[in-house]
Amino acid sequence: MEDLAVKSTAAAFAETAGVGHNWSRNDGIELDLSWVVDQRVNLSAAERRVATLPGRRTVKKDAQAAWLLKAVTCIDLTTLNGDDTAERVKRLCAKARQPVRQDILEALGMGDRAITTGAVCVYHRFVSTAVEALEGCGIPVAAVSTGFPAGLVPHDVKLKEIEASVADGAREIDIVITREHVLTGNWQALYDEMRDFRAACGDAHVKAILATGDLKTLRNVARASLVCMMAGADFIKTSTGKEGVNATLLVTLVMLRMIRAYQERTGLKVGYKPAGGISAAKDVLNYQFLMKDELGREWLEPDLFRIGASSLLADIERQLEHHVSGAYSALNRHPIG
């Protein structure tokens, strides 16, 4: 952890703070069924690897503040509720522009850095609202699509929804796969579906939501990850946040190793996004540690790492305030929007 474990938070972020989008496109490859069906997961070994992570990796004081600030820049600040309104989305966008209070940044020696979240994620209905609210700041709008969260609307409707969000200004599209294709082992159907989604996104980046809590086994998670990357997913994402089980470190380990295997074979880099259930600063640190251990320092940047969250930001800001003041403030002093 030596590259972020430094004496000063300002030094840790001298070159890396803020939103960076040096995106590379994953154009995908032909479906290799032999590679897909050959995937196996050693469950006991994976469980041991995850169980030992918190004890072997830790950061404190300024170094921890640096890691948490880096996490802020990777958050897809999200509102995906039935009672969303345009005003709520505008407030969320304002928070994305200034996710950490200026007095806290000043105390950390980071007052002159442009710290923003990685993106704002909304339903299609609010894409144009978010685009307008974020104009000029460089923060992209991500739209959930393809019948989110169940993904069971007709295929042509899914494609039209993607196209509509891109037309409204979304630069990232979070699609949901058809879980049935995974559960029945119909890898060709999953590949074809994902290829269509890739094409409909045009220049927008596409994140493939696997809904891992619905896929039953880690082997299914590994195979679905690989197929989606072969079909052109720029990111693979754990969950919609609406499943019974969302992001976990165990699922993350499996998906990261598929990303590594895909890069080793193709030379193409694919990003990773855990989503759902990550609400505490201490939890996001473990995801960051695992990312760096498995994929390297480059995967700690928003180009290749995003965190689907809303309440997480409030806890990070609270922890940063404690770091500079020595006292915890009430959580309601750190609203997300």
Per the DSSP assignment, residues forming a β-bridge with 197 are none
Q: HSE-up of 128 (CA within 13 Å, CB side)?
A: 4
| Structure confidence at residue 296 (pLDDT) | 96
pLDDT 10s per residue in the chain (337 long)?
Answer: 444 443 344 444 434 444 445 667 899 999 999 999 999 999 999 999 999 888 777 889 999 999 999 999 999 999 999 999 999 999 999 999 999 999 999 999 999 998 999 999 999 999 999 999 999 999 999 999 999 999 999 999 999 999 999 999 999 999 999 999 999 999 999 999 999 999 999 999 999 999 999 999 999 999 999 999 999 999 999 999 999 999 999 999 999 999 999 999 999 999 999 999 899 999 999 999 999 999 999 999 999 999 998 889 999 999 999 999 887 777 666 666 5
| Structure confidence at residue 24 (pLDDT) | 77
- 51 burial (CB, 10 Å; 0-12 / 13-18 / 19+) is exposed
Sequence letter at residue 21: H
CATH of domain 30-333: 3.20.20.70
Other beta carbons less than 10 A from residue 304's beta carbon: 23
- 65 burial (CB, 10 Å; 0-12 / 13-18 / 19+) is buried
For residues 280 and 314, the answer to whether their CB atoms sit within 8 Å is no
Whole-prediction pTM: 0.92
Nearest to 2 by CA among 75, 70, 67: 67
Nearest to 8 by CA among 105, 109, 113: 109
- 107 burial (CB, 10 Å; 0-12 / 13-18 / 19+) is middle
Domain ranges of the chain: 30-333
Instruction: Evaluate the CA torsion angle 73, 20, 287, 246 in order and state its sign.
Output: positive
Give the residue numbers marked as catalytic. Answer: 174, 237, 273
**Strand residues in 186-333 grouped as ranges (E):** 205-209, 235-237, 271-273, 307-309
For residues 205 and 172, the answer to whether their CB atoms sit within 8 Å is yes
